[in-house]
Amino acid sequence: MLKVREIFSSIQGEGIYVGRRQIFVRFAKCNLDCDYCDTAHKREGKFCIVNGKRKILKNADDIADEIKNLYTKDIFSISLTGGEPLIYTSLIRQIHKRTDIPLYLETNSTLPEKAYEIKNLITYAACGIKINYPKFYNDSLKTIEILSGKNLFVKVVITKDVDTGQIGRLAKNIKNIADPPFVLQPQTGIKWDKIYKNNLLEMSETAGNYLSDVRVIPQLHKFLGFE
């Protein structure tokens, strides 16, 4: 079964590298099941969609060929996204051997041992924190520590269930480890009413008591209609 569901060239729409052109390699499967998940990652499948076309890619060589075909001079990095890319560390190693383009890891921060395994291959890292999965809280902090030298930023999707106390605690715990840019990402597709906007400002202010670079950044690619 194919471990990569999609490969395409687009604009990074999240976090501090927003607007950068990337080749996205979307891995199948995730170990979580977030309500707001918007990616077709659920299973490994027979086909990979490469810039909109169905293809059968048999191995890392085929994946590397597709990456090469999509390369343009404005490419910043290869986004390893998902699903959860850290489920596939062996394939990531094989991809790394076959390309010179820097690797950008987008992880849900729940698999620190896997992050440790491949940290030396990674140039950029985005650690998403799943605040509504408390059982992974310590793993998330460990993952941040492991990836902290990797041009890292931390991102939290702000659903209506997240409160300022949770953000304050998280920012304080992160500060004990590192001081990465901290991004509050308003959930896409919900009404950003006055209360919600005030909460965002309050969260930003609270996080700013601990961390030196706090930003509120929505998903840009959704506004632009990109993948």
Q: Which residues bind ligand SF4 (CB under 6 A)?
A: 30, 32-34, 37, 39, 41, 82-84, 108
Q: Which is nearer to ligand SF4, 142 or 210 (CB)?
A: 142
User: Is 75 labelled a binding residue?
Assistant: no
Burial call 34-58: b when 16+ CB within 10 Å, e when fewer: eeeeeeebeebeeebbbeeeeeebe
CB 171 within 8 A of CB 131: no
Q: How far apart are CA 92 and CA 140, in angstroms?
A: 20
Q: Residue 127 corresponds to which tokens in the numbers above?
A: 């650690």
Min dist CB 71 to ligand SF4, Å, is 25
Min dist CB 144 to ligand SF4, Å, is 15
Q: Which is nearer to ligand SF4, 156 or 210 (CB)?
A: 156
Q: Which is nearer to ligand SF4, 66 or 84 (CB)?
A: 84
Task: Give the relative orientation of helices 164-175 and 137-147 as an angle to the nearest 10 degrees.
Answer: 40
**What is the gyration radius of the CA atoms in the chain, in angstroms?**
17
The DSSP secondary structure of 130-164, one letter per residue, reads -TT-GGGHHHHHHHHHHHTTSSEEEEEEE-TT--H
Q: Which is nearer to ligand SF4, 99 or 187 (CB)?
A: 187
Q: Between the CA of residue 76 and those of 9, 20, 73, 82, 114, what are the distances in Å?
A: 11, 6, 8, 19, 24
Min dist CB 82 to ligand SF4, Å, is 5
Q: Which is nearer to ligand SF4, 109 or 206 (CB)?
A: 109
Residues with Cβ within 8 Å of residue 17, at least 6 apart in sequence: 76, 77, 104, 124, 126, 153
Min dist CB 69 to ligand SF4, Å, is 26
User: Is 48 labelled a binding residue?
Assistant: no
Q: Residue 84 corresponds to which tokens in the numbers above?
A: 């959860």
User: Is 21 labelled a binding residue?
Assistant: no
User: Is 39 labelled a binding residue?
Assistant: yes
CB 155 within 8 A of CB 126: yes
Min dist CB 83 to ligand SF4, Å, is 5
Min dist CB 32 to ligand SF4, Å, is 4
User: Is 81 labelled a binding residue?
Assistant: yes
User: Is 20 labelled a binding residue?
Assistant: no
Q: Which is nearer to ligand SF4, 33 or 100 (CB)?
A: 33
User: Is 11 labelled a binding residue?
Assistant: yes
Annotated binding site for [4Fe-4S] cluster: 30, 34, 37
Annotated binding site for Mg(2+): 39
Annotated binding site: 11-13, 26, 30, 34, 36-39, 81, 83
Annotated binding site for substrate: 11-13, 26, 81
